[in-house]
Amino acid sequence: MKRSRRIRLVLLGGLSAGALASCTPAPPRTVTSTDVFTNNHFVPGVGYYHAPFRAWYALPYNHYDTRAAKYYYGGQWAAAPFTSVVNISAPTPEAARQLAAQRTDVRRGGFGSTGRSSFIRS
């Protein structure tokens, strides 16, 4: 009896480890100037995409500031919201490069992993 119970526990442990390993999110892909984004598409660490201006900004498109009574779009503030029929576009090559340099959702290599290796002297 003990032998069969032990085998079951090992099998269940292996299945759960495999299930947890497959839950890691896929790494974000590189953005190019041929990719298309909708208005207010958000990228962590970069901001919101303003489709009519084909670039990313810190605040959402037509964000309203109640204290200043102004709207934010395309990197500027105005008394009225910006209206445009463009709600989907591709970023400029410069905006795509800016996105690649600023985004915080990409895991980059760094120090620390080499210190975890183990050495076994024979």
CA–CA distance, 49 with 35 (Å, rounded to integer): 12
* pTM (2 d.p.): 0.62
CA–CA distance, 49 with 11 (Å, rounded to integer): 47
122 in a structural domain: no
97 in a structural domain: yes
Using alpha carbons, list the distances in angstroms from residue 31 to 23, 47, 72, 98: 24, 14, 24, 10
What is the domain extent for residue 68?
37-102
pLDDT in tens, 28-57: 567 788 889 999 999 888 899 999 999 999
11 in a structural domain: no
30 in a structural domain: no
Helix H, strand E, coil C: the string for 32-70 is CCCCCEECCCEECCCEEEEHHHCEEECCCCCEEECCCCE
Confidence bin at 19 (pLDDT 50/70/90): low
What's the total number of domains in the chain? 1
Residues in a beta bridge with 64: 71
8 in a structural domain: no
119 in a structural domain: no
69 in a structural domain: yes
93 in a structural domain: yes
